[in-house]
Chain A
Amino acid sequence: MSTMEGDLLHTVETGSISASRRFWGYAALWVSAAWFAASFMLQSSHDLGWTQLGFENWRPVLYAYFIWAAVLCATRVVIHGEAGKKALFVLPAALFVVSMVVFPLLFALWVGFSDWNLASPTGRQFNGLDNLRQMLGDAFYLNALINMVYYALAIVVEYAIAFGLALLLSQEIVARKFWRVTFLLPLMLSPVAVGWMVGKSMLETRFGPIARLARWLGWENPSFFGDPLTAKLSIMVMDAWTFIPFMMIMLLAGLQSLSREVLEAAEVDGATKWQRFWQVIFPLMLPVSVTAVMIRIIFKLKLADIIITVTAGGPGGATDSVTSFIYREYRDRSNVGYGTLLALVYLVIIVIGMTTMINISDRIVKRMTGRI
């Protein structure tokens, strides 16, 4: 083993790689890369109808990619020796991300800017910005986006309830563990099951127990999905019932990690219960709160299962979410190109929206907690 200057602590082998080893390493890498690129180009040409030569399907190209990826990893060590081994800690994960995230995203872009109705005999046709233009004039998509704003705003109420429940469960109450598990149960249910159990059974207007209770309370003809406002509220309540426990458990964990000394000091200083909450607990909980709300927003933006099960977006689109609309566009109408573009635009909106919100909330947290 030779030694050299540099990171001596972590480097156990350096500088002993022969020129021929490097040559064969590079040769293997370039051959595998060339094979992968050639098979990709050949199959692309075949699919685009430029050549007759090609494979029956894309599987050989996939195999070429696997081989190239394996050779890339192996040649890191062959070419760079011990230093190359460091890359092996990251490279497989990076290749996995490229395969499972970056490539599908690029493929989605390729599909999203095309006219591809699965029933069309002509197959996929590139159509430039037509899908984007169609989207701008699509009243259903716009309606669904507006609905999402309302759904997202409901998180404010959900947060308040979740915080209240978390405070309650952090107290020394009887059967505290039992209540914690009980409050978590809705989160364990599938939203589809919630849709059927609550939306289509308990809220059923004739025999549903909640409808009966409403009748007993004097509501002559209880209707939970009959008009747009009630239907939207009913969907919000069902979704909130499912996911409030999620926020509650995050906030509860945050409450339990608060320093008891700080709380006791506030009490000793004569702070009232409200002052202790508003001026001590709430600011200290802000980082956890922001995380909980952000994750909840991400969940909310994917809202679809309950809507598809209970209202199918009705009445008159009042409960439609972007995801439930895309689902109809894609599944019922096989409109793959347009559906994919709608999903991509939604992704961009979410990324921009979430980034902005994180920045804003970060500033608020810093201001309120005094951290610069």
Chain B
Amino acid sequence: MKLEVYDALMRRQASRRDVLRGTASAAALMGVSSVMGGLPARAFAADDVRAQILKIPGVGKGAPTDADWQKVGELCLGPTKANVKQGEFAGVELTFMGLNNQNLHNFLFRGFLKPWEAYTGAKINWIDLAQADYNARLQQSIATGTVDFDILEMGAPFEGDTAGKGLLSEMPDWVKKQIDIDDYVDYLKPPVGTWDGKTYRVTIDGDCHNFNYRADYFKDETLAKAWKDEGHSGEWSVPKTWAQVQEVSKFLKGKKDPLSAGPAYGYLDPYKGWGGFGFYFLEDRATAYVKMPGDPAWLFDPENMKPLVNSPGWVRAIQEAMDLLSYEPTDQINADPGTTGFQQFLAGTGSMVTWWGDIGQQANTSDTSVVGEVAAFDILPGSEDVYDRKAGKWVKAKDGVNYAPNCAYLGWGIYVMARVESDKLKHRAAWSAAAHLGGKDLAIWTAMYPSGFQVHRNSQSKIEEWVAAGYKGDYISNYLKSQFGSYNHPNRAVEPRIPGIFQYYSVAEDELAKGYGGKYKSAQETADAIAAAWEKITDQIGRDKQLKLYRASLGL
């Protein structure tokens, strides 16, 4: 900036900070304009914005950088500008606590919020946490009454620990409008989208496990012939039930992988604990056996909080995992979900794995993936019979097969803490920042590019947008069908948002490890040990309170 221009601005009473901010905004705008091919002459219509951001940087054109995140954030500022005046939050400081996993999460939020800060005048201070430290930090803040953040990135399962204790700020109506909350997929709407009837979460992710498989295995003629020759019933095809997954996995032992010519393997179980997250993968097997249509309860009895984990349906799931261990790759007992998803399936080992939508996102975009051309997707396998906990017996599935997609973790959300409510401006600023991050247009970008977040809005199902961004039509249709098919499934298994939910999972992982390691005599004994440990946790946290919150989370 020339000295005379600076002096002129100073004479007009512009502060040094305003000048610098203006310069930064101009620079950001110049950056945006270079992508857009010239300075914007008018405000873009929503569709224009979507078309433009989806080309930043373009699928297959390298990983997005901070400059890209800032450009996307700048282009998605429209809804903020409609609700907030420029400089309205000058002097407001907010603290944001979130993750820094794989250089995603907070790294993206910083870029997205930089233009928001420049426009509104607010300043954001950041608390970055590794996934391993996140739970402990959050729980300690809550338990010791030292919540030192205003905005929080949090998984929905922790709502029992936060909303249940009155720590969250209820979402104002103007935010609901700004983020178009009605666009969320069905399962993220109430009751899952609310806590005790109130909305707290700006959803930025929609977690659900789907079934990832290798299409080349099931098109392979050699394997098809061997299948017939060995006398298996039915055609050689993608399993639709867990019983078929077992049969196919056992059949594949000793065969050749059609892609690598190495040993062929079927389903990949993660037998090693993963800080509680590994339990979701046993749930993948179990939900088909225990989640009855019309009954939301599948983990605990909603009458008394007694664990259902040692019911015959769960025991069958544990038994099947035990049975398959010797048919899976060597050292599989030491494989956690990170291993099965990324070091095995994406790297070409195994033909079936359940995971969150990351596998589909990365199969075609990650440099370490060798299965981009052969990966295919479906909702989780089902079961021909299901254990009816109320009747206390196995019953035939109504439609032939009982499917129950596992809505594991329910997705990440942005939350505003109740502590900002004493300051109206801060409250409004915090919600504006949250709404910006949860904006409809920004959400399609995070669903398409590496972000740690998956699709969660009905508007994200338009195949043409994905194709325009660079995805292959068939591939993305198949992937999105598995995602939306899970979210919108009428018998989806929704995780209960009760306090300490990961404590239950973590202790279950320890007991399962003993079961898989042969320390218990049977699957039933393993399941009983888990149930006993869960009872202890429930009693420790407080049964009545847990029961109340459990029922609330199920919408009962």
The size bracket of the interface on A is 35 or more
Q: Chain B 328-372 against A: per-residue CB contact (8 Å), 1 yes, 0 no?
A: 011101101000000100000100000000000000000000000
Q: How far apart sit A334 and B135, CA to CA, in the bound complex (Å)? A: 8
Residue A81 is within 8 A (CB to CB) of chain B in the complex = no
Contact with A along B83-110 (1 / 0, CB 8 A): 0000000000000000000000000000
Structural contact, B519 and A317, CB atoms closer than 8 A: yes
Chain B residue numbers with a CB within 8 Å of A120 are 499-500, 540-542
Q: Which of A35-43, A157-165, A220-228, A248-256 contacts B (4 or more CB under 8 A)?
A: A220-228
B292–chain A nearest beta-carbon distance, Å: 28
Query: Which one, A86-94, A325-333, A349-357, is touching chain B?
Result: A325-333
Q: Is the CB of A221 within 8 A of B330?
A: yes
> Is B273 in contact with chain A by the CB < 8 A criterion?
yes
Which A255-271 residues have C-beta < 8 A from chain B?
none
Q: List the B side residues contacting A228 at CB < 8 Å.
A: 517
Within the complex, the shortest CB–CB distance from B279 to chain A, in Å, comes to 11
Nearest CB of chain B from residue A341's CB, rounded to whole Å: 14
Interface residues of A in 46-101 (CB under 8 A from B): 57
Q: How far is the CA of A42 from the CA of B165 in the complex (A)?
A: 27
CA distance A69 to B249 in the complex (A): 69
Are A115 and B513 neighbours in the complex by a CB distance under 8 Å? no
Q: Does B502 reach chain A (CB closer than 8 Å)?
A: yes
**How far is A236 from B553 in the complex, measured between Cα atoms in Å?**
46
Q: Shortest CB–CB separation between residue B276 and chain A, in angstroms? A: 6
Does A206 count as interface, using CB distance less than 8 angstroms?
A: yes
Mark the stretch among B137-145, B215-223, B391-399, B472-480 that contacts chain A: B137-145
Q: Across the two chains, which residue of chain B brings its CB closest to A330?
A: B136
- Contact between A314 and B334 (Cβ–Cβ < 8 Å)? yes
Known: A117-B503, A334-B500. A316 touches B334 (CB 8 A): no
By a CB distance below 8 angstroms, the chain B residues around A223 are 330-331
Interchain CA distance A204-B334 in the complex, whole Å:
10
Residue of B146, B343, B513, B545 near A121 (CB, 8 A) is B545
- Nearest chain A residue, comparing its CB with the CB of B502: A332
* B160 contact set on A, CB distance < 8 A: 119
B143 CB contacts on chain A under 8 angstroms: 116, 118, 123, 334, 336
Chain B min CB distance to A210 (Å): 13
Chain A residues contacting B329 (CB-CB under 8 Å) are 205-206
Q: Specify the main secondary structure of chain A where it touches its partner.
A: loop
Interface string of A293-322 (1 = CB under 8 A from B): 000000000000000001111111110000
Known pairs A117-B503, A120-B541, A121-B545; A314 contacts B333 (CB<8 A):
yes
Contacts of B343 in A (CB 8 A): 204
The reply to whether A119 and B139 form a contact with Cβ atoms under 8 Å apart is yes
Q: Is B272 in contact with A119, judged by CB distance below 8 angstroms?
A: no
Q: Do B517 and A317 have beta carbons less than 8 Å apart?
A: yes
CB of B513 within 8 A of CB of A314, answer: yes
**B135 to A315, Cβ gap below 8 A?**
no
User: For chain B residues 517-556, which have a beta carbon within 8 Å of chain A?
Assistant: 517-519, 537, 540-542, 545
A310 surroundings in chain B (CB, below 8 A): 334
Give the residue of A225, A317, A335 whose beta carbon is less than 8 angstroms from that of B514.
A317
A231 within 8 A of B: yes
- Write out the residue numbers on chain A whose beta carbons fall within 8 Å of the beta carbon of B435: none
Contact A312 B506 (CB under 8 A): no
- Judge whether B334 and A334 touch: CB under 8 Å: no
**CB-based contact B334/A318 at 8 Å:** no
A272 touches B (CB below 8 Å): no
Q: What string of 1s and 0s marks CB contacts (under 8 Å) between B63-77 and chain A? A: 000000000000000
- Residue B132 CB within 8 A of the other chain: yes
Once bound together, how far apart are the Cα atoms of A140 and B160, in whole Å? 28
Interface residue A171 (Cβ < 8 Å from any Cβ of B) = no
Partner of B513, one of A204, A313, A332: A313
- Verify if B510 is at the interface (C-beta below 8 Å from A): yes
Q: In the complex, how many angstroms separate the beta carbon of A80 from the nearest chain B beta carbon?
A: 41
* Least distance between B418 CB and chain A CB atoms (Å): 16
- Residues 404-422 of chain B: 1 if any A CB is under 8 Å from the residue's CB, otherwise 0? 0000000000000000000
Residue in contact with A226 in the complex, picked from B273, B331, B506, B507, CB distance below 8 Å: B331
Most buried by A among B329, B330, B336, B516: B330
The answer to whether the Cβ of B258 comes within 8 Å of any Cβ in the partner chain is no
Q: A228-B517, A314-B513, A334-B136 are in contact. Are A121 and B499 (CB under 8 A)?
A: yes
A312–B329 alpha-carbon span in the complex (Å): 19
Inter-subunit contact B334/A225 (CB<8 Å): yes
Asked if B161 is at the interface of the complex by the 8 Å CB criterion, the answer is yes
Minimal beta-carbon separation of A339 from chain B (angstroms): 11
Query: Which A residues are in CB contact (< 8 Å) with B510?
Result: 140, 313, 317, 328
Q: Is A122 an interface residue (CB 8 A)?
A: yes
A226 B517 Cβ-Cβ under 8 A: no
Residue from B334, B518, B519 in contact with A231 in the complex, judged by beta carbons closer than 8 Å: B334
Q: Are A317 and B513 in touch, CB under 8 angstroms?
A: yes
Is A222 touching B276 in the complex (CB atoms < 8 A)?
Answer: no
Are B333 and A331 touching (Cβ within 8 A)?
no
- A residues 90-140 with Cβ under 8 Å of B? 115-123, 140
Taking CB atoms, residues of chain B closer than 8 Å to A206 are 262, 329, 349
A117-B514 in contact given A226-B330, A314-B273 (Cβ < 8 Å)? no
Rounded to whole Å, the gap between the CB of A183 and the closest CB of chain B is 29
> With A311-B272, A332-B276 in contact, is A117–B540 under 8 Å at CB?
yes
Question: Across the interface, do A316 and B331 meet the contact criterion of CB distance under 8 Å?
Answer: no
Docked complex Cα distance between A313 and B349 (Å): 25
B140 partner residues in chain A, CB cutoff 8 A: 118
Q: What residue of chain A has the Cβ atom nearest to residue B158's Cβ?
A: A119
Distance between B327 CB and nearest chain A CB, rounded to angstroms: 13
* Smallest CB gap from B519: residue in A: A316
Which residues from A are CB-within-8-Å of B541?
A: 117, 119-121
Contacts of B135 in A (CB 8 A): 331-332, 334
B333 touches A332 (CB 8 A): no
A117-B500, A117-B540, A313-B513 known; A205+B333 contact, CB < 8 A: no
18 contacting pairs across A/B (C-beta < 8 A): A115-B540, A119-B499, A120-B541, A120-B542, A205-B331, A221-B330, A225-B331, A226-B331, A226-B334, A228-B517, A231-B334, A310-B334, A314-B271, A314-B272, A314-B513, A314-B517, A316-B515, A332-B275
Interface residues of B (CB under 8 A from A): 132, 135-136, 139-140, 142-143, 146, 160-161, 164-165, 262, 271-276, 329-331, 333-334, 336, 343, 349, 499-500, 502-503, 506-507, 510, 513-519, 537, 540-542, 545
Across the A-B interface, the 8 shortest Cβ-Cβ residue pairs: A316-B517, A119-B500, A332-B506, A118-B139, A225-B334, A118-B143, A119-B499, A333-B503
